[in-house]
Chain A
């Protein structure tokens, strides 16, 4: 995690794909955790911060973020026996579980999905849809985003706010890289269309 000069931009660590040695070591950790839940420790320690920050970007309060992060790891550990190692970092599964837990939280708490954005991220999206960055375009984009469905908003956050590379995006969403690119392209087209109709 680092802060830009503007101070408010949080870039999610994009080192989803580690070295072969790291991934092999992680497989051993997963297998150890399958045999003994207490062996889940190294995985928890490695990914807790990333998952917590990811969740916090999508919730209103720190307490909710702590709770949802805990639920995420509990769900991961409960299902670790079924986990099939395929050479993909374990973090991809954790992010998927986190998104599910967030959905569950929004439904149960009957709250709107939270989206944390800063000015730089807004500017990036405006550039993607071919618009200049101004107070007016900013406000219009915020309105346009309100018309996305939850799955589209998740994709927008992952790709443009969290800056997840396509290769890692496809691991999280369990789709091919081609499909991930196609989805992002369609998403931008939709945002552009909605933005245009808000004249």
Chain B
């Protein structure tokens, strides 16, 4: 009996055969079709039964974000809380033919190569271009800007946790420009996280969804701390300069004393040195000659050839400011000796200076070499960012800088994100009410925010029966009412409401008197101060 169908010398697949089957998009469609979607799971039907508005809730969760009904015209996709929340943080004007390396106020870098811009028809442009730029590093700014943070991948909805997001656009004469695929802009964005769990995504506002970008550069890199050059170590010290001899003035008092030549080598240049008193500084007392002094000390003063001599005997003390001198008969020899010693001194001094310079240069080279090894050999964005920071004298940073690089293939919003599921540590049936009136909050969406985490977990108003959160986190809830007011539950109020581990929780909101008009007002209520000045 034949168990196998043996095929002899069959022709292998051609390259065209392989390409016919190789289609990742088709594969993902097949994968998604095979995977039960949120709509088809039992979980969804339970929720729907509880909410009573099946299709509307589901569709709303997947395709829309909250739509504040304040003075901002709703675009149904990106819905800022107030008009100002659309504004860039900064704008740069550059010459499109020249390009530029730009630095944001927080140290993020934007490398604009030459000819990086095209007009709407795909033609190269000339002249000045305005580059508008902003960054998002906390949940409050993301929320205020109304940027959707949900992501659908293969039928599963995720909520983004962001390690930093940017919006970059280019304009000329009020018209938006496009990127030039042959000359792409790179952005090295300062990031709050060096974890490698973040991918790169681009917000496709036409398709109204986030697009995963396979980009290795999304991995965070760290700029090294700027090390200061260490002082030149182990340079041999040079003795104090030898004091030039002077001939004693016979009319001025002087005296000879024994001293340690090792301690005063500058005085050993010549024999028979005496100490001539400067009577303008310290009058000479002849009686001091008769005293049997117990101890004598010599101190150098500011001038090299002026020495203070201190005699002591018990509590008695005599202090003289003196100049070392020699008798006339000894002067010639003393001078010769001094000249020799001085030449030696000068040579030693020059050698020391040279050694210090060599060591300083060696230290600098070592630092640069260390940086080169830590960064990249080629002229990468990180290296350029580092040099620009150093050139701008931003050397006071005590922390390593974490940056993430985006290659801007399209203008718009770029994000370093980690897709997350809704927290499910503790799930409750949540009631959202006005803390003052007790009435239910009339909002489409409620956002669970973990303080210090850049993630907005979105719950539709019909999905509050499965309101999940992490009990150990500092949780807040934000919402925008249908009449455009900001409704919030603070960290403390959240903890109060959930203190007893019950499965039915009523959250009491604070509601703004009127729609918020600017970032300061919003942040004050959201409880997240602006750490970046944006």
Residues of chain A at the chain B interface (Cβ within 8 Å): 1, 3, 8, 10, 25, 28, 31-32, 35-42, 44-45, 48-49, 52-53, 56, 60, 62, 65-66, 69-70, 73-74, 77-78, 111-119, 142, 145-148, 150, 153
Tell whether, in the assembled complex, residue A153 and residue B419 are in contact, meaning their CB atoms are under 8 Å apart. Answer: no
Additional 12 contacts, C-beta under 8 A, given A36-B419, A53-B18, A116-B6: A3-B12, A31-B197, A35-B199, A41-B24, A74-B34, A78-B31, A111-B5, A115-B6, A117-B6, A118-B9, A147-B3, A148-B3
Contact of A113 among B4, B156, B199, B418 (CB under 8 A): B4
In angstroms, Cα B10 to Cα A117, docked, is 8
Smallest beta-carbon distance B19→chain A, Å: 9
Alpha-carbon distance between A50 and B199 when the two chains are bound, in angstroms: 27
Bound together, the chains give a CA A119 to CA B9 distance in angstroms of 7
Chain B residue nearest to A119 (CB atoms) is B9
Across-interface contacts of A147 in B (CB, < 8 A): 3
Contacts of A28 in B (CB 8 A): 196, 216, 219
Residues from chain B with Cβ under 8 Å of A112 in the complex = 2-5
Interface size on B, residues (CB 8 A): 39
Q: Of B2, B12, B20, B212, which is within 8 A of A38 by CB? A: B212
14 contacts between A and B (CB under 8 A): A36-B199, A37-B156, A39-B199, A53-B12, A53-B13, A56-B12, A69-B21, A70-B21, A73-B27, A73-B31, A114-B4, A117-B7, A117-B8, A146-B6
Assess the A142–B6 pair: CB atoms within 8 A: yes
Given A35-B199, A36-B158, A74-B34, the answer on whether A114 and B5 have CB atoms closer than 8 Å is yes
Report if A31-B35 is in contact (Cβ < 8 Å); known contacts: A112-B3, A116-B7: no
Known A28-B196, A39-B212, A146-B3; contact A52-B18, beta-carbon cutoff 8 A: yes
Closest to A44 in B: B24
**Complex CA–CA separation, A78 to B419 (angstroms):** 16
- Which residues of chain A come closer than 8 Å to B250, judged between CB atoms? none
**Contacts known (A8-B11, A25-B216, A48-B18); A36 close to B153, Cβ less than 8 A:** yes
On whether the beta carbons of A38 and B154 are closer than 8 Å, the reply is yes
CB distance from A71 to the nearest CB of B (A): 9
Q: How far is the CB of A69 from chain B (nearest CB, A)?
A: 6
Chain A residue nearest to B211 (CB atoms) is A38
Report the minimum CB–CB distance from B338 to chain A (whole Å).
68
B379 at the interface (CB under 8 A from A): no
Q: Which residues of B contact A56 (CB under 8 A)?
A: 12-13
Contacts of B34 in A (CB 8 A): 74
B22 close to A (CB within 8 Å): yes
- Tell me, rounded to whole Å, the shortest Cβ–Cβ distance linking A84 to chain B: 16
Q: Does B17 contact A (CB under 8 A)?
A: yes
Give bound CA distance, A73 to B24, whole Å.
10
A60 pairs with B7, CB closer than 8 A: yes
Quick one: which of B10, B28, B30 contacts A37, CB cutoff 8 A? B28
- Cβ B9 vs Cβ A146 within 8 A: no
